[in-house]
Structure 1
Amino acid sequence: MAQFFKFVFASMLGTFLTLVIASILFVSIIVGIVNSASKEKNVQVSDDSILMLDFDYDIPERSPIDPFSDYNYNDFQSKNTVGLNDILSGIKKAKEDPKILGIYINTSSVGGGFATTEEIRNALLDFKLSKKFIVAYSEFYTQKGYYVASVADKIYLNPAGDIEFKGFGTQIMFLKGALDKLEIEPQVIKVGTYKSAVEPFVLDKMSDANRLQTASFLGSMYNHFLLKISNERGINADSLRVIANKLLIQRAEDAVKFKLADGLKYKDEVMADLKSRTNVKPEDDLKVITLKKYKSAETEIKDDLPTDRIAVVYATGEIISGEGDDNTIGSERISKAIRDVREDKKVKAIVFRVNSPGGSALASDVIWREVELARKVKPVVVSMGDYAASGGYYISCAATKIYADPNTITGSIGVFGIIPNAQKFFNNKLGVTFDGVKTGEYADMGTISRPLTESERAILQQQVNNTYGTFTKKVAEGRKKTALGVDSIGQGRVWSGIEALEIGLVDKLGGISDAIADAAKLANIKSYRTVSYPSQKSILESFFGNVSDDIQTSIMKKELGEEYKIYKQIRKISQLNGVQARLPFEISVN
């Protein structure tokens, strides 16, 4: 009995200590968030200030409004996340702000795709029209970081630093060998010669078709990259290609020699340069303001805000059925947002911002329907981000007009389904067997405990064929093409934004600002304000809804590092359900 009470007491003590630790953790988080939020209130911009830009973080489409999504649970600090929307508006505001004398780019990379990088770079090019200076400095530039920095009047590099300039490459992880060892058979049903989403499961290297399409869109993106750097740095594009092909930038001195950088400086020397540009005495401090603070700076509030509105509906992430969240396109949430702005008489046009690799074909069709209905009432202009592929293109194709960035990855008009057969894995590896009773021949169709029968495979193939037919038909209607014409550029093939323009999948090249301006023109309005949809998660929704997931994700990222992307991809694969219209894999261009 004494041993029993000792055990009970130990359990109670453990529970008590757990609650105490959890309470301390909760209070620490709240205090940290409050302190962080209070620092952003009543921000004042001093005269003769410099706006500092840093993009070394994952850039979302919109700045999060709840502090929990912007919180690092490893060190209880804010991540200082600024969304693309506020990056672009902040640079535009700084262009007209007399208190901002110039911009200091202090970043190694850009935490987004090349389309996101393109939009930031274009905003900086527009800023230069003000004749204000831009100075860039880093200890190390990745290719995306250098692409942004290439617009600067002066590019400085640490004397011991480096510039990554080696050309573009992308790599795919193939799981066939691992599945073979586990005796798991991926049963694939697809339509599309280029629909390579299934290749990692059934091959151990890229198919010829996939290699062809990847080389094509990667080459298109790279040519654009070289051309734009050539324009700003005054270096022939062919010379830049040679520099990359021969990896001629191996030391900091090489970057200056080949004119990719203007000088080698330590941080204190760069600060001295900035002081000279702003007439600050050497002994005084620079007046530098971060973009995070600058976006919260007080601005003159206009009482006569325009009545007419352009609604910007953000659709970011994978496409799923249901509600979704700020990082997932839920068919219910996004279709409701489009329906709301369609019925709002104050909204004269809609800009549909799509940044998605695709997902559920059914959920995509639900959203497509709302875009189709909205287009009949008012202009709908799609603005494509880093991705608008497969399901991402499905939900875009009904729009009045489609904009893509040159480096947007789009197309991938094709569908597939995968049902793993894990019978041998269960039997031979785990010693697990299955048996059961069913009331009809197809009652257990789709189970992973046995292979598909021929009739089941034929049924699933017909479903996939029907979905592809529906997909191509709707693209044909939206883009005013024939179904055969769409099929010839479909078949799951992925295109860059430049290629998509050439084959008629998009109408113009440009970013979200261009799409908004065109939407206003189509709606025949000159004075308007933009409003964002759907509403973002509140503080309470974030904390009580997903804070545990955020903590888990934060810990996994810290422990796995670069391998976190592999873990995330495998987890996505395991959650596939139904016919899919999505990119073959997470395309990361390095």
Structure 2
Amino acid sequence: MKQFFKFVLASIVGILITTFLLVIIIIGIIYSASGDKTVEVEPNSVLRMAFTTPITERTPNNPLAGLDFLGLDKDKSTGLNDILANIKKAKTDDNIKGIFLDESYMTSGQATTEEIRNALIDFKKSGKFVVAYAEIYTQGFYYLASVADKVYVNPKGMIEFHGFSSQITFLKGALDKLGIEAQIIKVGTYKSAVEPLVLTKMSDANRLQVTSYLGSLYDHFLTGISKSRGINKDSLFNYANQMRIQQPEDALKLKLVDGLKYKDEILDDLKKRSGTTSKELKSIELGEYTKSNPEKEDKDDDNSSSKNRIAIVYASGEISGGEGDDNTIGSERISKALRKVRLDNKVKAVVLRVNSPGGSSLASDVIWREVMLTKKVKPIIVSMGDVAASGGYYISCAADSIIAQPNTITGSIGIFAILPNLQKLFNDKLGVTFDGVKTGKYADLGDIDRPLTPDERLILQNSVNHGYDDFTKAVAEGRHKTQAYINSIGQGRVWTGTQALQNGLVDRLGNINDAIASAAKKAKIKNYNLVSYPEQKSFLNQLSGDVTVEARTRMLKSELGDSYKVYEQIKGITQMMRTPQTRLPYDIVIK
């Protein structure tokens, strides 16, 4: 009888799960169908842009975006590709009278913000207005908003303007308490990804490099605001250094904003600016505007307006072996995409869009090889996003040309490996011991229940040294420099795009559109269509996995709060222990 009820219960659960998934699929189909409809933009409208979620490279393929149900609204944000396309479209759209930058947090990286900021500067050339408003301006959003014709803040709001800081969480003390030793094998004086595991504070070399690139980022930040607001850069530095902006009135007095207004006053102002006579402001959200007056899609046939194509291959996230997805770089998936565009005669040039802190050195080399092969048959230009460092730089270095933003984080040419020694944890903390036999001296190399012997450490060090030699050779060949020179600016050191231009790691500063134009010029074509790779997974293929992962992530963030960042760091370190890494020293967070 007990078995009977067990089977009945299992059947009921199975039916419920199946029914639930069918409902979700039906909702997805309905939303997908409705999402294909063209949105009409009313005359005298304002394009509202609010960035409250992380900005990805490409808009996620999710027909349930915007449906607040079981976390399925996670992809309601618009990708950078559509943001830039919408600003460009709005520039010549007679129905759009201006852009409203509304309450945003700008959790995106600085180079992404730079792309949007430059697009807004270009938009203003049309003579249309840009107005910004917020109750609280983060430094990131203020940098973006500073290009607006008018910048307003709530009378009781605030503007964060205090300079940049970067903080690292060190775990050595916790590991010591647990009886865990992180055995480090690395090449690169500045390759400091391992420091949180073996030190309790920054090394002198790491402090030097962080001071250098943080200073470069901050200088660019102040320069941009100075040019937009007409305020001397030294004055801006002093405002931040002396914490002069404490109240909204301070920001108004020092000309960082143009007025103190409530939201209703802003809406009334926008109605006047847009020339609408209706009671409510005519506005359209960024995501909806994507569906307005869609351009003719480039079909995979001979009937397209132009047979020439430029392929944009998106490589975003940490690098690992396997397939990966839109937020991680799987060497197999990106390699397939590069092979496909290389063999497609309609594709005349390739733009490799890289936004990655690196990862597996082996996976990075696999992708590098495909870039090399592509370069032999057609132009390939790299466009760097927020980060293109370590493995992210490895996959970039073979390209014909590299274009980065001034505040892109790049370089970090180095390699390391981590092997944990859990002997004290097992023996002293848990009372667990191990014993066994082996057929050779190194048969158990890599076991985590004991420390490395000197011979074993030498073997691993030689392997890492060999990987670093391959890395610097690849960069030297791609950048037409000597290996000795690359070693001198390598050693794991992190650079900004501005610094990388000076030392020869990139060719010019610019955005993804500059990279596309460069690719077209090198391919000697004027008319072309843009096509994107790898193909994004369909909604149904990613549904079950995404829902599960999102639900778990939200639960962890809710329970851990600010400690979630520490959890992510520990998780990342666990992943780094699998293979040698060409990875950025740590996740760079600037506050």
What band does the TM-score fall into relative to the shorter chain?
over 0.9
Q: Pairwise mapping of residues 406-425 of structure 1 onto structure 2 (< 5 A)?
A: 406-425=406-425
8 Å CA contact 1:91–1:124 kept in 2: the answer is yes
Q: Where does residue 86 of structure 2 map in the other structure?
A: 90
2:428 alignment partner in structure 1: 428
The superposition leaves residues 206-264 of structure 1 with CA deviations (integer Å, 9 ceiling, x where unpaired) of 00000000010000010000001110101001110011111111111111111111111
Q: What letter is aligned with 2:115?
A: E
Asked whether the equivalents of residues 68 and 542 of structure 1 are also in contact (C-alpha less than 8 Å), the reply is no
Contact 2:32/2:64 (<8 A) preserved: no
Q: 1:262 to 1:35 in 2, by over 3 A?
A: farther
2-side partners of 1:74 and 1:250: how far apart?
Answer: 39
1:55 aligns with 2:51: yes
CA offsets, 1:338-364, max 9 Å, x none? Answer: 111111111111100000000111111
Shift of 1:287: 1.1
Q: Which residue of 2 aligns with 1:252?
A: 248
Asked if residue 498 in structure 1 is aligned to residue 494 in structure 2, the reply is no
Superposed, which structure 2 residues align to 1:149-228 within 5 Å?
Answer: 149-228=145-224
Match of 1:275 among 267, 271, 283: 271
CA offset digits 1:117-172 (Å, max 9, x no partner): 10010111110110100001111110111111111000111111111111011100
Q: Percent identity?
A: 58
Root mean square deviation of aligned Cα:
2.0
Q: Which residue of 1 aligns with 2:357?
A: 357
Matches within 5 A, 1:340-351: 340-351=340-351
> What pairs with 1:96-495 in structure 2 (closer than 5 Å)?
96-281=92-277, 284-299=279-294, 301=296, 305-495=305-495
Whether the 8 Å contact between 1:32 and 1:76 is mirrored in structure 2 is no
CA distance in 2, matches of 1:424, 1:70: 50
User: CA separation of 1:408/1:300 partners in 2, compared to 1, >3 Å: closer, same or farther?
Assistant: closer
CA distance in 2, matches of 1:326, 1:370: 19
Contact 1:68 1:547 in 2 (8 A): no
CA distance in 1, matches of 2:170, 2:324: 29
Structure 1 partner of 2:583: 582
Using the TM superposition, give the Cα deviation of residue 562 of structure 1 relative to its aligned residue in structure 2, in angstroms: 3.4
CA 1:20–1:255 in 2, change beyond 3 Å: closer, same or farther? farther
Please identify, of 429-438 and 486-495, the stretch whose mean Cα deviation from structure 2 is larger.
429-438
TM-score, normalization: structure 1? 0.95
Contact 1:68 1:543 in 2 (8 A): no
Look up the SS of the partner of 2:383 in the other structure.
strand
Supply the distance in 2 between the matched residues of 1:213 and 1:313 (Cα, whole angstroms).
31
Query: Partners of 1:542 and 1:80 in 2: how far apart?
Result: 16
Match of 2:300 in 1: none
Name the CA shift for 1:287/1:70 in 2 (closer, same or farther; >3 Å): closer
Q: Distance in 1 between matches of 2:249 and 2:15?
A: 56
Task: Report the CA distance shift for 1:513/1:48 in structure 2 as closer, same or farther (over 3 A).
Answer: same
Q: Which runs of 5+ in 2 are unaligned?
A: 298-302
Equivalent residue runs for 1:523-542 within 5 Å = 523-542=523-542
Q: CA separation of 1:481/1:536 partners in 2, compared to 1, >3 Å: closer, same or farther?
A: same
Further displaced range: 20-29 or 408-417: 20-29
For 1:20-39, what aligned pairs fall within 5 Å after superposition? 22=17, 25-26=20-21, 29-30=24-25, 33=28, 36-37=31-32
Q: 1:71 to 1:323 in 2, by over 3 A?
A: farther
Distance change (3 Å), C-alpha of 1:267 and 1:70? closer
Are the structure 2 counterparts of residues 280 and 417 from structure 1 closer, same or farther at C-alpha, using a change threshold of 3 Å? same
- Label 1:134 to 1:582 Cα distance change in 2 as closer, same or farther (>3 A): same
How far off is 1:22 after superposition? 4.1
Partner of 1:565: 565
CA distance in 2, matches of 1:35, 1:141: 38
Deviation of 1:297 after TM superposition, in Å, equals 1.3
- CA distance in 1 between counterparts of 2:317 and 2:355 reads 6
* 1:571 maps to amino acid: K
Q: Compare 563-572 and 356-365 and name the one that shifted more.
A: 563-572
TM-score normalised to structure 2 length: 0.95
CA distance in 1, matches of 2:378, 2:66: 35
Whether contact under 8 Å (2:71, 2:550) holds in the other structure is: no
- Contact kept, 8 Å, 2:72 with 2:547, in 1: the verdict is no
- The unaligned stretches of length 5 or more in structure 1 are none
> Which residue identity lines up with residue 537 of structure 1 in the other structure?
K
- In structure 2, distance between residues paired with 1:327 and 1:126: 29
1:418 CA drift (Å):
0.4
How far off its partner does 1:296 sit? 1.1
The answer to whether the 8 Å contact 1:354/1:382 transfers is yes
For residues 453 and 266 of structure 1, the distance between their equivalents in structure 2, rounded to whole angstroms, comes to 68
Which deviations, in whole Å up to 9, do the C-alpha atoms of 1:420-444 show, x marking residues without a partner? 0001101111111111222111111
The 8 Å contact of residues 64 and 72 in structure 2, kept in 1 or not, is answered as no
Q: Is the 8 A contact 1:72 1:79 kept in 2?
A: no
